[in-house]
C-alpha cells in the first residue's frame, strides 16, 4: 500500500501549495488521520510478526522518525535563513515582540524543534503581543504556534512517537478488548467534540493524542482483518479480486474525500475513516509483494517532511498556475536525493539491528530447550 501512502503525502503537499491540475485530494488533516490508520496497521504487523526485542523496535522507530526529520530541519533552517519575510518565517517570529516578551516562547521553540517533544501542542498556542497563550481554544481561538516551527507539519510525528511508546502493549490485546477500546474512544471523541462545537468552543482536536488514538487502533484492528483474509480458506484469485475492489475504494476515498467531507460533523468524518480503515487489510494483501508499490511508498515520508519548505520557496517565485506541479516535482527530486544518500544507509543499519535481535532471540530459544 505504498502508493496509497504516497498519495496521502501528496494530499498534504497540495493543501500546503495548490491543486495539481485542479485535483484537490484530501485535506491535510484528513490525509494525516488516514496516515495514522495505516501506521497503526503497520506497527501492529511488525510487532506481531517481526520484532521480538522491544529495545530494537524503539531504536529502529527512532531512526525511522528522527533521521528524515533532522535532515529536513537542517535543510529548512538554511532555507528560512535565506528566504526571510515569506508566508512562513520562523526566524521572523523569533525576532518578534512575542519572543522578546516571553522566554517560554523561545525555550518551547528550541525543545520542540530539536526533539519533537511538545511539537504537537504548538497547534494550541495563540500568538499575542505579550507572548503566548495556551491552550488557545480556551481563550477565544487564535493560533500562530506553528510559526515557532521550522518543519510545521512535524506535529504529527509527536503523535506517532506517543503511539510507538504504547503500541507494544496495545497491539497484543485480545481482539475483543481492542474492539471495545477502539469503539469506546471513537464514541468518547465524537461526544466530546460535538459538545464543544455546540458550546461554540473552537477546538481543533487533530493534534490531541487521546483524541487520535482511536485511529491508530483502527489500523491495529485492520491487522486482524489482514490475518483473517490471508488465512481464509478461499481461492487466492478470489481474495485478490476482493482486495482489488477494496483498493479501488481506498483510491476513491482519497480522490473525492475533499468534496464529500462536511464542515464539523464528527460522525460523518468517522464513517469516512471507518471506510478507509476497512480497505487497509485488502490494500496490504494486494500489494505486499509488489516491489514497485514498495518503491513508490518510500517517497511518502520524504515528500511529507520536505514539501513545506519547497512550497514556501516556490510560492515566493510567483510562477502562476503551475505552483502545485512545481512543488511536487521539486519535492520528488529532493526526496530521491535523500533516499539515495541518507535513507538507504539508514535502512541497512535498521535491517542489521533487527536481524541481530532476531538471531539472539533464536539462540536464546535453542538454549532454553537444549
**What is the reported pLDDT for 78?**
86
Instruction: Confirm whether 35 is domain-assigned.
Output: yes
Cell numbers placing 305:
517532511
Give domain status of residue 68, yes or no: yes
Half-sphere exposure of 271 (CA within 13 A, CB side): 7
pLDDT above 70: percentage of residues in the chain: 81
With respect to residue 126, please indicate whether it lies within any of the assigned structural domains: no
As a whole number of angstroms, the distance between CA 116 and CA 158 comes to 6
Express each pLDDT in 23-54 by its tens digit. 777 888 889 999 999 999 999 999 998 877 88
Range of the domain at 166: 2-87+156-357
Total domains in the fold of the chain: 1
DSSP 184-229: HHHHHHHHHHHHHHHTT-----TT-HHHHHHHHHHHHHHHHHHHHH
Q: What is the pTM of this model?
A: 0.88
Residue 299 lies in a domain: yes
**Residue 95 in domain:** no
Q: What is the pLDDT of residues 273-286, one digit of tens each?
A: 888 999 999 999 99
Does 317 map to a domain?
yes
Task: List C-alpha distances in Å: 114 to 84, 130, 142, 260.
Answer: 21, 25, 25, 38
Give the pLDDT band (50/70/90) at residue 163: very high
Amino acid at each position: 500500500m505504498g502508493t496509497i501512502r504516497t498519495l496521502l503525502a501528496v494530499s498534504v503537499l497540495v493543501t500546503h501549495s495548490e491543486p495539481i491540475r485542479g485535483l484537490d485530494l484530501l485535506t491535510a488533516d484528513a490525509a494525516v488521520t488516514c496516515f495514522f490508520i495505516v501506521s497503526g496497521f503497520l506497527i501492529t504487523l511488525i510487532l506481531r510478526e517481526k520484532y521480538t526485542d522491544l529495545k530494537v523496535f524503539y531504536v529502529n522507530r527512532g531512526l525511522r522518525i528522527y533521521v528524515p526529520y533532522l535532515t529536513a530541519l537542517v535543510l529548512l533552517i538554511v532555507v528560512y535563513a535565506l528566504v526571510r519575510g515569506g508566508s512562513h518565517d520562523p526566524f521572523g517570529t523569533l525576532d518578534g515582540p512575542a519572543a522578546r516578551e516571553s522566554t517560554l516562547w523561545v525555550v518551547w521553540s528550541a525543545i520542540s524543534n530539536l526533539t519533537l517533544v511538545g511539537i504537537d501542542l504548538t497547534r494550541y498556542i495563540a500568538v499575542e503581543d505579550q507572548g503566548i497563550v495556551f491552550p488557545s481554544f480556551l481563550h477565544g481561538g487564535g493560533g500562530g504556534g506553528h510559526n515557532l516551527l521550522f518543519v510545521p507539519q512535524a506535529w504529527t510525528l509527536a503523535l506517532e512517537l506517543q503511539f510507538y511508546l504504547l503500541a507494544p502493549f496495545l497491539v497484543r490485546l485480545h481482539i475483543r478488548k481492542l474492539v471495545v477500546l477502539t469503539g469506546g474512544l471513537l464514541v468518547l471523541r465524537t461526544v466530546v467534540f460535538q459538545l464543544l462545537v455546540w458550546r461554540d468552543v473552537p477546538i481543533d482536536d487533530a493534534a490531541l493524542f487521546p483524541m487520535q488514538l482511536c485511529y491508530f487502533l483502527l489500523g491495529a484492528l485492520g491487522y486482524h482483518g489482514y490475518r483473517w483474509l490471508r488465512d481464509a480458506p478461499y481461492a487466492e484469485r478470489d481474495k485478490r479480486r476482493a482486495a482489488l475492489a477494496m483498493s479501488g475504494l481506498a483510491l476513491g476515498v482519497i480522490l473525492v474525500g475533499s468534496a464529500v467531507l462536511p464542515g464539523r460533523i464528527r460522525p460523518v468524518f468517522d464513517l469516512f475513516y471507518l471506510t478507509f480503515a476497512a480497505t487497509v487489510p485488502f490494500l496490504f494483501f494486494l500489494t505486499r509483494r509488489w516491489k514497485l508499490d514498495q518503491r513508490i511508498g518510500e517517497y511518502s515520508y520524504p515528500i511529507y517532511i520536505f514539501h513545506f519548505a519547497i512550497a514556501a520557496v516556490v510560492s515566493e517565485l510567483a510562477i502562476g498556475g503551475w505552483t502545485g506541479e512545481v512543488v511536487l516535482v521539486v519535492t520528488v527530486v529532493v526526496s530521491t536525493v535523500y533516499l539515495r544518500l541518507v535513507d538507504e544507509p539508514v535502512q541497512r543499519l535498521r535491517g542489521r539491528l533487527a536481524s541481530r535481535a532476531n538471531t539472539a532471540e533464536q539462540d536464546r530459544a535453542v538454549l532454553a530447550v537444549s
